[in-house]
Amino acid sequence: MGATGKDFYASPFGVAFSAYMERPRLSRLISRVVFGGDTKRYYESMSAVAEVAGGGTIVDCPCGAGPAFRALSADTEVRYVAVDLSPSMIARAQKRAWKRGLTTVELVEADATEIPAGSDSADLFLSFWGLHCFDDPAAALAEAARVLKPGGRLVGSCFVRGNDSFRQRRLIRSGSGDFGRVGTQSEVEAWLAAADFEVSGIERSGPFLFFQASKKDRMIPLAGDPELAGLAEYAAACPHDLA
């Protein structure tokens, strides 16, 4: 679900992009020189992977060539589902998983709005450098919310527009290269809110936006039992009467 129907990352650009994104120092240097932003926060946020308890589930979409695998140990007991629409990125991620001895990583070629995972099944959703590639970023965030458990954590990054330099405006254009719809920071925040996420942290460096949020834990209506449903509504409206 990107700006083009072909595999953009099968190109020499895709090879180069994969190579430098797997090397933090090189990535930070190139990002500062080319885009005027620092990717340090991106690599720091990968620590969220190690915070998922054994038996938990992590969804990484788009996983790219698997740079976030660096935060995953070979003896991990979590389920790690790596999703990307690019066949070439899936192939690179597979090689990276093999090199790191990660035999339990599940690699899936799929669209960001049709993730093959159950609703309320994931503890952590990684959305690194994907929203700006999608034609409908809001739909991708809604899918992330569907997959996450109530209270589940979303950690991500993307390019945004707004308050840019002339160079950034020339490089970051919706529908150009691998860019789909590139939103502003305000738009990203609105998409998160619409998907029922509660933002816990947001930070910007040049055209890069780094965000963390959690899926709101909503009370499930007791539709199957009218009497209990009525009691729940009364309790919500008059909490002191039931104290």
pLDDT tens, residue by residue, 122-149:
999 999 999 999 999 999 999 999 999 9
Q: Considering the chain, what percentage of its residues have pLDDT values greater than 90?
A: 70
User: What are the tokens at 41?
Assistant: 């926060």
Residue that is written with structure tokens 């707004």 in the block: 162
CB atoms within 10 A of CB 24: 17
pLDDT of residue 164: 72
Please name the residues in contact with 32: beta carbons below 8 A apart, sequence gap of 6 or more.
Answer: 38
Strand 79-84 relative to strand 105-109, pairing? parallel
Q: Are 35 and 61 in contact (CB under 8 A)?
A: no
> Could you give the CA distance from residue 47 to residue 97 in angstroms, rounded to a whole number?
18
pLDDT at 218 over 90: no
pLDDT of residue 224: 52
Mean pLDDT of 18-34: 92
The pTM (predicted TM-score) of the whole model is: 0.85
CATH class in words for 8-218: alpha beta
pLDDT of residue 237: 54
CA atoms within 13 A on the CB side of 182: 21
Q: How far is CA 195 from CA 93, 127, 140, 230, 243, in A?
A: 28, 14, 9, 27, 33
Q: Of 58, 65, 117, whose CA–CA distance to 86 is shortest?
A: 65
Higher pLDDT, 242 or 7: 7
Domain residue extents for the chain: 8-218
